[in-house]
Each structure stands twice: as structure tokens, then as C-alpha cells.
Amino acid sequence: MIELLQGYGLWGIFILSFLEAIFFPVPVEAILIPFLVLHPDNMILAIFLATMGCLLGGIIGYKIGQTGGVKVAHRFISPEKMDSGILFYHKYGGWALALAILTPLPYKVFTIVSGILQMNFAKFVYTTVWSRLVRITIISLLTVYYGAYIFENALTLFMNNKTIFLILVLIIAIAYGYYRHRMKTKV
């Protein structure tokens, strides 16, 4: 699927961002980053299309939650993820949506939960647009300014920095394990 969408360039970015917001597990960065390394002059349009794709997909997720409720939502999201999303949403309110967009949390869970919990629609749109715009802009700027260097030197950087890489992987694994443990104990 990713290979297919990469062939569509900017529209592939829009489509993947749209699908990611509803049910697709692959983040838009999977094609955004390689695209921007090859076409840095299209950064503004790529940011716009990724943001609008996310918004339109998010609106569909919101409407699924709003009209279908939990019963329909379980077709898209496991009951465990749904329950975790609702608890997280109750704890952080509207910030839960922003955090889901800005971090690796599954945004699609929070679009549907936003609809189920009847989040103010204007607030939903505002939060989605600004949070996604911030995330995609940061990723795009880093890619345009440093992406080619990283891609060109990835093997050298990796081979020379195996220890640092392994430490980072270990830190991420420990942080993820801690996060999962905290989420289970809060349930």
C-alpha cells in the first residue's frame, strides 16, 4: 500500500494522512519524509495536504463515534484501546486529542472517542488543524534541512554509532514498557 501511495506524490501524502486518521496504522511520515527529501520545494503544499487529509479523516472518525457510538467504534478499534482512550480523554480532556496528534499515540482512537464523548466540534477541528500543523511542520522542516544528509549517511551514522543506537532503542523500549504498565494500572 505504501509503495502504491508513494507513486501518487503529494496526493499520496493526503490519502495516507486521511486514512491514518480513521483506521490505517501507518503514519503519514512513511511517505512524507522520502517525498520531501526528493522534493523539498513542495514542503508547504505537503504540509497543507497532510494537515487537510488528517482533518477530513478525523472528521469522519469523529462522526463514526458520534453517530455509531461504542458499538460501531469497536469495528475500527479494539475494546482495550477504546477503554484506554476514553480514560485518557477523561483525564486530559481536549488535550488528549492534541497529544494523540503530536505524539505516537493512535490518533484514530481519539477521533472516534471525541465523537463518542461529544467533544465540541469546532474545538475538535481547531485542535486537529493546529496540532497536526505543528507536528507536520516540525517533521517537514527537519526533513528538508537534514533529511538528505541522514539518508546519504545513514549506514555510516548507524555503523559508527551502534552503541548510541542500541542505548536509544533500549531507552525507548523501557519508556514504552513503563507507559504500558502505567496505562494498565490506571484501568
pLDDT digits (tens, 9 = 90+) for 115-128: 888 889 999 999 88
Predicted structure pTM score = 0.71
3-state secondary structure of 2: helix
- Where are the chain's structural domains? 2-154
Per-residue pLDDT at 28: 84
On the 0-12 / 13-18 / 19+ scale of CB atoms within 10 A, 42 is middle
Segment among 87-101, 124-138, 167-181 with least mean pLDDT = 167-181
